Amino acid sequence: MATKKTMTLNLTDAEMRVLNDLCEKKDISKTAVLRQALRIYQLIESRVEKGDKLFFEDEKTKDKAEVMML
Amino acid sequence: MTITVSPIFLYNVVRGEQEAAELWDGITDKQLADWEGEWVPELFKAVQKLHRAGVERGRWPQSRHWNWRTKTETLQGMLAHPGFSIVCNGMTQGMMIVDTTTKRCRIGEQKGKNLVYVEFVENAPWNRPDLAQSPHYRGIGSVLVRAAIALSIDEEFKGRIGLHALPQANSFYANTCGMSDLGIDPDYQNLRYFEMTPEQAEAFIAKGNQP
């Protein structure tokens, strides 16, 4: 596995609360949540840069809602 | 691109013994050159042999359409889609690309949890029992599944992995890897979906390399 570097992160109480909630829900550490977030952010950015659009689809109704990336 | 190379062993079928090999945590120009220069012509010959033997098209290896150069270039640098390869005797023997981000578990007890999803995995044609009369190396699929499990553990997914199997590989994932068979997925080319729980991952790792 690749070597890892340590960094300090400054978060507000609200951000920290969300991070803690995600850790609990996903049963993973804060580091793992933030690494996942980075992967998703990079993936979405690269697709949007290519001109792709991001949608959420309701599994039952198949209704689609576009997520506007600014 | 920095590649970490880990020592592994493959079973050399011809010599009847283990042979030192390498697991690379990436797919580089070397792998793509091996694929274009060695895999593709070999696969072409194997398909030609099947055609001449009157084997119906539906039973030809479905991975014959895969273009590893396009796949690799599309996903190059994407943290969500790491690649792996196995090199033995100077030649690429297997390749895999996974998705660590967008897929979720389907088995009831772990439904919705993150997993490492194996998007593409392929053995060199001369190692495939369905294409070569006497495969050169065995153990490539197992090493790559172990690499996916190790990545899942590193991502804190506890060894959970999932994949859609090409028909030729169904038995390998069910019996050799001990993954749960969740049946045909009508939303994914009617391929069977397999998933591994942390307990199954642990059991598979404990089994070790078996020729």
Is 0.90 topped by the overall pTM? yes
Structure tokens at B118: 């194996």
- Of B29, B44, B156, residue with least CA distance to B95: B29
Read off the pLDDT of residues A52-63 as tens digits, 9 standing for 90 and up.
Answer: 888 888 888 888
Chain B residues with a Cβ under 8 Å from any Cβ in chain A: 2, 4, 25, 78-80, 100-102, 113-114, 150, 154-157
Give the domain range for residue A61.
13-67
Judge whether A28 lies within some domain.
yes
Find the mean pLDDT for residues B127-155. 93
Q: Where are the domains of chain B?
A: 5-207
Q: What CATH class has B5-207? A: alpha beta
| ipTM value | 0.85
Pairs of residues, one from chain A and one from chain B, whose beta carbons lie less than 8 Å apart: 42
In-domain check, residue A8 = no
The domain total for chain A is 1
What pLDDT, on a 0 to 100 scale, did the predictor assign at position B64? Answer: 87
> Could you please report the per-residue DSSP string of chain B?
----EEEEEEEETTTTEEEEEEEESS--HHHHHHIIIIIHHHHHHHHHHHHHTT--GGGS-GGGG--HHHHHHHHTT-TTS-EEEEEETTEEEEEEEEESSS-B--SGGGTT-B-EEEEEEEE-GGG-TTT-SS-SEE-HHHHHHHHHHHHHHHTTSTT-EEEEEPGGGHHIIIIIS--EEEEEETTTTTEEEEEE-HHHHHHHHHH----
